[in-house]
Structure 1
Amino acid sequence: MLWDWSYAFEILPILAQASLVTVQATLLGFVLALILGLVFALLRMARAPWIALPVSAFVEFIRSTPLLIQIFFLYFVFPEFGVSLDAFTAGVIALGLHYGTYCAEVYRAGLDNVPRGQWEASTALNLSPFHTFRDIIIPQAIPPVVPALGNYFVALFKETPLLSAIAVLELMQQAKILGSTTFRYIEPITLVGLFFLVFSLVAAALIRMVERRLNRIGAR
């Protein structure tokens, strides 16, 4: 038979368990990307060239090199410099760093769209840079860029199979192990595709909910 339902139901719980690792890597990697992206965006806006230029060069370097190479570098090369990371940690850091550079561009677009008068009003009120960004600028810059950030969240989720290259037992790695054990690949690979489809649709729906909620708050 081309498709064996009994085998599919047998491996479904195993893949479901592996999917938890995939979801965990996605969430941790995206939280890291959101934080690093905002830091990169703010540093690139610094008036001091010795801060802005190196950060800009670093962001462009990460954006211009493949994620898989960055995963390998963190996992296999860093130990040569005395920094040893387990496979999951190296994978999460690579995902967060890579997508943090993309999020930085999204944040920068949002910050640039804040009316100049808001910056000038903050200066006139003698607000510190910290309070200006925290209370005035960032609350206006973030809501419009939520859809773009959400797209990167879904994209990051679909990149997690790359972690199988360093033996992280995520969804795709587990499917390959099952296939190599039974020599049946159609069921595990198809189920993995369905898992990713469902998770991506759920993530997209949640992003739209967040966007609508932020719009309602902004309308008030």
Structure 2
Amino acid sequence: MEWDWQFALQSAPRIAGGIGITLIVTGLGSLLALVLGLVFALLARSRTVLISGLTRLLVDFIRGTPLLVQLYVMFYVLPDIGILLQPLLVGVIGLGVHYAAYLSEVYRAGIDNVSRGQWEAGTAINLSRWQVMQHVVLPQAIPPMLPTIGNYILSMFKETPLLSVITVVEMMAVARGISTTTYRFLEPITIVGLYFLLLSLPCAFALQRWERWIKS
């Protein structure tokens, strides 16, 4: 199949119309993942064995199953038991919860990297366990995590084409719609790849600079 520049130029603006949904899903999913990931990490450190054990089991289950399967279950299976969610909401929750499981491990590693002496110093001045975590440990643990967190958010952005299978009209869904009506796949799919590349490269470059700054 030869490249058709006229068709490509006609398709590009239509596909660009899906960028907004892609960014919205990524933004909201990232916020959910950042907050829920920290919750998972803190619950996994609970002194109550039942809470910590169940949290670790849940995190392992989410990490051990494909995101696509999770999206299918939320969108196609949950309605059978009376839980009906809009496609965009399923996309945000699906991406957010899936990446929260991975970010919880990032938070855990960052927290564990803070020296034990910091905990003991906080306890020595009569801070509660939560106050030590909030005011002493997390401010030291989070900055070194940021490059890794950023990489996961970038990965989430590149996973958004999966949402086309649950009828979220992002870039890939628009491209598939064009392809199925014109029977031309080369131009629409290539344009989607280029849009993702143009949007992700500046973010990847910024993350690399940030990581170098953290290590310097």
Provide the alpha-carbon RMSD of the alignment: 1.8
Task: Please give the alpha-carbon distance, in whole angstroms, between the structure 2 residues aligned to 1:35 and 1:206.
Answer: 22
Task: Please give the alpha-carbon distance, in whole angstroms, between the structure 1 residues aligned to 2:19 and 2:171.
Answer: 5
Amino acid at match of 1:36: L
Amino acid at match of 1:117: G
1:131 pairs with 2:131 = yes
Q: Once structures 1 and 2 are overlaid, which stretch shifts more, 36-45 or 140-149?
A: 140-149
Q: Once structures 1 and 2 are overlaid, which stretch shifts more, 27-36 or 78-87?
A: 78-87
1:165 corresponds in structure 2 to: 165
2:41 corresponds in structure 1 to: 41
Task: Please give the alpha-carbon distance, in whole angstroms, between the structure 2 residues aligned to 1:94 and 1:202.
Answer: 26
Where does structure 2 lack aligned partners over 5 or more consecutive residues? Answer: none
2:115 corresponds in structure 1 to: 115
Cα distance, 1:202 vs structure 2: 2.0
1:27 corresponds in structure 2 to: 27
1:60 corresponds in structure 2 to: 60
Task: Please give the alpha-carbon distance, in whole angstroms, between the structure 2 residues aligned to 1:132 and 1:212.
Answer: 29
2:199 corresponds in structure 1 to: 199
Task: Please give the alpha-carbon distance, in whole angstroms, between the structure 1 residues aligned to 2:129 and 2:82.
Answer: 37
1:99 pairs with 2:99 = yes
Task: Please give the alpha-carbon distance, in whole angstroms, between the structure 2 residues aligned to 1:42 and 1:209.
Answer: 29
Q: TM-score of the superposition, structure 2-length normalised?
A: 0.94
Cα distance, 1:82 vs structure 2: 2.5
1:179 corresponds in structure 2 to: 179
Cα distance, 1:211 vs structure 2: 5.1
Task: Please give the alpha-carbon distance, in whole angstroms, between the structure 1 residues aligned to 2:37 and 2:114.
Answer: 18
2:90 corresponds in structure 1 to: 90
Q: TM-score of the superposition, structure 1-length normalised?
A: 0.92
Task: Please give the alpha-carbon distance, in whole angstroms, between the structure 2 residues aligned to 1:193 and 1:7.
Answer: 16
Q: Deviations over 1:140-161 (max 9, x none)?
A: 1111111211221111111111
Cα distance, 1:128 vs structure 2: 2.4
Cα distance, 1:80 vs structure 2: 2.6
Quote the sequence identity (%).
49
Cα distance, 1:97 vs structure 2: 0.5
Task: Please give the alpha-carbon distance, in whole angstroms, between the structure 2 residues aligned to 1:147 and 1:164.
Answer: 28
Where does structure 1 lack aligned partners over 5 or more consecutive residues? Answer: none
**Is residue 143–residue 211 contact of structure 1 (8 Å, CA) maintained in 2?**
no
